[in-house]
Structure 1
Amino acid sequence: MIKFQKCAKMMWEASVLVGVMVWCCCEGLHVCDGVDRATPTHRLSTKTAYFNADKDTTHWSDFNKEVEGCFAEQVWLLNRHGTRFPTQNDMHGLLDILPGVSQKIVANHQQGRGCLKQSELEQLQNWIPPYDLRDKEQLQETGQDELAAIGEEWRNFLPHLFDQPFHPAKFKVDFTVKNRTGQSAYHFLRGMFGDEAVGNIELPQPYSPNFVLRFYKACPRWVKEVYKNKETTYKERQLFVETEDFKNTAHGVSARLGFMHPLSLDELVAVYDECRYETAFWAGRDSVWCSPFTDDDFEVMEYYQDLKYYYEDSYGHPLNLKTACRTLADLFMHFRSTVNDGEAKPQGIFYFAHDKTIFKVLASFGLFRPAQHLRHDNFKSMKDRVWRTSFVSPFSANLAFVLYRCGDGKEENHKVGVFFEGQPTPLPDVCRGVTCRWEELRPWLAEQHATCDLGKLCMLHDEL
């Protein structure tokens, strides 16, 4: 396909000279080849719907052996919010760009340029954005279903803990000041305790700054050195836009939409983003905005996203891992109290936050660390990377720790199961098995707790 995309680029460059797009075969490949295929719904970066995301089920057999005869006492769960509508800034961009682009695409095809089918052109001709500014950042219906399903799965997995009425002494719930996390908490509890019961659950008031769930926003050093540091944090992404791989995608997508010039970066990203949102919103329905992308194009656009989040929120900057120490300390203190007291209070800790939280906590545990840093010039060699945003933080991504008592309840007879997206997940940097012996995990968590000084690390002040 790379060969074809280079061909498409050459055709576009040649056509500019004569003022007309040439729709013909080039080295045996037609410009419209490769677009009539299903959208890879599991590879849409952080806009991948939870129901579409890849799940690693390979460790269940070993996990079941390691916890045989053990009793689950406590669950600590960190959940990203579910599928949402675009943020305010993203929504403004989509609403400003896409209506005009859709009409230009239709006009291009009326003039004999482009690769879309008649049914797709009719969709674009009648396209109305599936949201307005009142919906910004709110949980979409699919997101509600995702969280309810996750809550129900945990109730079914550990019925002795969760198949009972909700009581605040037994279940701790916390979320950030953003509406979508509070809505996610509500629908998670709806799935776990039922539609009738959830209406009687009084959710806590969110607060800010929240050093467990949104620590990065209260870390001026992170904001300055990472988030707003365009020269370093976003350097690899900016360089990737200048590579042949990315240019081939920009030219190929533009040509399939009938344009006689490449779409601007903002236009290309807007088309890609709408494709991702609509795919997440409606399972089983093809978004017309996905039509011009080939499988190779989706790979390129996913890597474009990966280069942002890798440096902004994960292994690309050492500060990302350090700022999550209060979250790890919270896990340590809850489990230590249960082991020492012999009783779980509470028995379920449910937290609802954002992709930035998930990215940083996963990196703190060394999970899904790639063999080498993602860079603009190693796209091809990193195609089989273990760190990709589509897998690491889709909508509703979640990381859970389950404390098991095995035997007489002494400290040495406790184990911890780690679950990512509901699947057993080893911690190879910390523990030797699929589960962790508490004696292995405790000193590691204790070190994070003892050395966690966000005031020194970040010069803490109120959330920005």
Structure 2
Amino acid sequence: MSSFVVLLISHFWLISCIYGITRWDVFSTKTNYKWSHFSSATTDDGFMFSTGSKTCNAIHVSMVSRHGARWPSDGDMEDIKELHRNIIESKPSTVYPELDSWIPRYNESDEKQLTTEGKKEQEDLGARLGIRFKTLFNNNGKNVKFVSSSKSRTKDSNEYFHKGLSAGVQSVIEYTNEVNDGIVRPYDDCDNYEETVESDENMKEFNKFSKSSVLVNIIDSVKEKLGISFDVSDDDITIINELCAHEKAIFNEDAVWCNLLTDEERRILEYRSDIENYYEASYGHQINTKISCPLIGDMFHTMDNAINNPWNYSNVAAHGYLAGKFYNGHSETLLPLMTSLELFKDNASLLSTNMAAMANRKFKTSIIDPSSANLAFVLYVCNDSDTTDRSFMVKLFVNEKPVSIPACRGDMCTYETVRQYYSDLIDKCDLEAICDDDICDDDDATCRASGMDTSLAILLLLVLFCKIL
């Protein structure tokens, strides 16, 4: 056995021995970007490629990012403190004495704000993009735009992303940020979403799994380890799991909380979280395949504008189209967007009964939707060296890696093919109709049930009114 292999095995044994955890890329949407993705960048490695006799240069980047790692919400902070108090009051003092001296360092003033790591994630992401497309943004740094939701964590994320982009390009990049919840948070004030997606009927698989024997076994295991007798809920177990992630991400410490769960138990909790996200923000409900249409339309109309200007693309500044548009939103922005684009779709739905069969699922939020998750369309102009023909190609990247585009089942498609494939989302987007709780899709059982409940209520009111008369 080589010394390198021995060193590697020793390294992982030491991590397991000291930290009690060997995998950090299983914390669902609480996963830090660097835990599930390692990225580096080379100057202009995304700017140009050749295909046949054609040379293609990037002329536009549309990128949608989730905000960087953040502090817990004020509600989660209170739950953390309450659970800690309950455990301390119930457990024997000789069991996990580290919990007695553990002090919650979560302040309401920080709630949902970017952590130091979250700021770094966004700055590094921007820097890598600048390096990969250095020529594009060096020439056209004044022709970029930033869009965020109204939340401070997304506005701050755009500022740090811009800072990194400027550093990567090593030139001044103009910065103007537009707040547009209609594009980045279309689910806000969407009646159909609130009444059907968040209903017990739609979330029944999540609720079943939360009461399943595998979750009960985890609860019993934690209670036995702590020597406590009070009722521990499935949500308490989630808090313990997320506390492990928070302590590592925010304070770079591996707290005692990490030792209360095994790697296998964390994978079970990851699946539970994936079920929740699957039905709330992805393929589990029909509305999630459409609700991102304002964002998709804005991205493609911006690319249309770039294509419809027949000029020298090395001199964008003289003509005014956007060389880059950068949107910063939330998990609920990225997952419906990926869903609308038909990415990471498994052959089977995530159910309370098929966890083992879905072990290698595509819809794994720890990988596709960590903090600072990102999706980018890159538009290229391609010139043929043998003719004067010019065409446009597009690539799609998720978390800085190329992915196959459903429109052509390849990692590079003609722009016309991709645009036609998503044409209904681009040109026929009617968010008001999508969000009208009186309008249902034929295949949307949850929506039909909601509509029938409304109709029945109206009928009963009419009967009551007639009796009064």
TM-score by length of 2: 0.79
Specify which of 391, 411, 431 is matched with residue 434 of structure 1.
Answer: 411
Distance (whole Å) between structure 1 residues aligned to residue 306 and residue 329 of structure 2? 24
Return the offset for 1:266. Answer: 3.4
Return the offset for 1:441. Answer: 0.7
Distance (whole Å) between structure 1 residues aligned to residue 226 and residue 349 of structure 2? 34
Specify which of 410, 428, 431 is matched with residue 451 of structure 1.
Answer: 428
Structure 1 residue 374 and structure 2 residue 350: aligned? yes
Quick check: 299-308 or 175-184, which moved more? 299-308
Specify which of 225, 229, 236 is matched with residue 196 of structure 2.
Answer: 225
Deviation digits for residues 89-122 of structure 1 (CA, Å, limit 9, x no counterpart): 2222223322442x247x4251xxx5x5xxxx33
Specify which of 258, 275, 289 is matched with residue 257 of structure 2.
Answer: 289
Distance (whole Å) between structure 2 residues aligned to residue 198 and residue 100 of structure 1? 54
Greater RCO (Cα-Cα under 8 Å, separation 6 or more): 1
Distance (whole Å) between structure 2 residues aligned to residue 328 and residue 391 of structure 1? 22
Return the offset for 1:218. Answer: 3.4
Q: Secondary structure at the match of 1:407?
A: strand
Q: Structure 1 residues 247, 199: CA separation in 2 closer, same or farther (over 3 Å shift)?
A: farther
1:332 is aligned to 300
Taking only aligned residues, the RMSD between alpha carbons, in angstroms, comes to: 3.0
Quick check: 388-397 or 72-81, which moved more? 388-397
2:206 is aligned to 237
Tell me if the contact between 2:138 and 2:171 (Cα under 8 Å) persists in the aligned partners. no
Distance (whole Å) between structure 2 residues aligned to residue 55 and residue 458 of structure 1? 38
Structure 1 residue 273 and structure 2 residue 263: aligned? no
Deviation digits for residues 190-233 of structure 1 (CA, Å, limit 9, x no counterpart): 111149x99996543525xx221111113211111112x1x222
Return the offset for 1:263. Answer: 2.2
Tell me if the contact between 1:234 and 1:311 (Cα under 8 Å) persists in the aligned partners. yes
Distance (whole Å) between structure 2 residues aligned to residue 150 and residue 99 of structure 1? 39
1:425 is aligned to 403
Return the offset for 1:54. Answer: 4.2
- How do 1:55-454 residues align onto structure 2 when only pairs under 5 Å count? 66=51, 69-101=55-87, 103-104=88-89, 107-108=91-92, 110=94, 114=95, 116=96, 121-122=97-98, 124-163=99-138, 166-167=141-142, 170-194=143-167, 203-204=176-177, 206-207=179-180, 210-227=181-198, 229=199, 231-260=200-229, 263-283=232-252, 285-342=253-310, 345-407=321-383, 413-427=391-405, 429-454=406-431
Q: Structure 1 residues 456, 411: CA separation in 2 closer, same or farther (over 3 Å shift)?
A: farther
Tell me if the contact between 1:233 and 1:308 (Cα under 8 Å) persists in the aligned partners. no
2:7 is aligned to none
TM-score by length of 1: 0.80
Q: Structure 1 residues 294, 450: CA separation in 2 closer, same or farther (over 3 Å shift)?
A: same
Which 5+ residue runs of structure 1 have no aligned equivalent?
1-32
Distance (whole Å) between structure 2 residues aligned to residue 161 and residue 150 of structure 1? 17
Q: Secondary structure at the match of 1:291?
A: helix
Distance (whole Å) between structure 1 residues aligned to residue 287 and residue 129 of structure 2? 33
Distance (whole Å) between structure 1 residues aligned to residue 197 and residue 358 of structure 2? 23
Structure 1 residue 43 and structure 2 residue 15: aligned? no
The amino acid that maps onto 2:401 is Q
Distance (whole Å) between structure 1 residues aligned to residue 401 and residue 137 of structure 2? 18
Tell me if the contact between 1:250 and 1:262 (Cα under 8 Å) persists in the aligned partners. no
Tell me if the contact between 1:412 and 1:438 (Cα under 8 Å) persists in the aligned partners. no
Tell me if the contact between 1:175 and 1:213 (Cα under 8 Å) persists in the aligned partners. yes
1:15 is aligned to none
Tell me if the contact between 1:411 and 1:439 (Cα under 8 Å) persists in the aligned partners. no
Q: Structure 1 residues 445, 332: CA separation in 2 closer, same or farther (over 3 Å shift)?
A: farther
Q: Structure 1 residues 91, 37: CA separation in 2 closer, same or farther (over 3 Å shift)?
A: closer
Q: Structure 1 residues 141, 316: CA separation in 2 closer, same or farther (over 3 Å shift)?
A: same
Tell me if the contact between 2:150 and 2:179 (Cα under 8 Å) persists in the aligned partners. yes
The amino acid that maps onto 2:426 is H
Distance (whole Å) between structure 2 residues aligned to residue 430 and residue 84 of structure 1? 35
Q: Structure 1 residues 265, 348: CA separation in 2 closer, same or farther (over 3 Å shift)?
A: same
The amino acid that maps onto 1:90 is D
Return the offset for 1:83. Answer: 0.2
Which 5+ residue runs of structure 2 have no aligned equivalent?
1-15, 438-469
Tell me if the contact between 1:411 and 1:438 (Cα under 8 Å) persists in the aligned partners. no
Return the offset for 1:436. Answer: 1.6
Tell me if the contact between 2:20 and 2:258 (Cα under 8 Å) persists in the aligned partners. no
Quick check: 213-222 or 409-418, which moved more? 409-418
Q: Secondary structure at the match of 2:257?
A: helix
Distance (whole Å) between structure 1 residues aligned to residue 22 and residue 230 of structure 2? 25
Distance (whole Å) between structure 1 residues aligned to residue 17 and residue 354 of structure 2? 24
The amino acid that maps onto 1:433 is G
Q: Structure 1 residues 384, 347: CA separation in 2 closer, same or farther (over 3 Å shift)?
A: same
Return the offset for 1:332. Answer: 1.3
Q: Secondary structure at the match of 1:108?
A: coil
Percent identity (aligned):
28
Tell me if the contact between 2:62 and 2:299 (Cα under 8 Å) persists in the aligned partners. yes
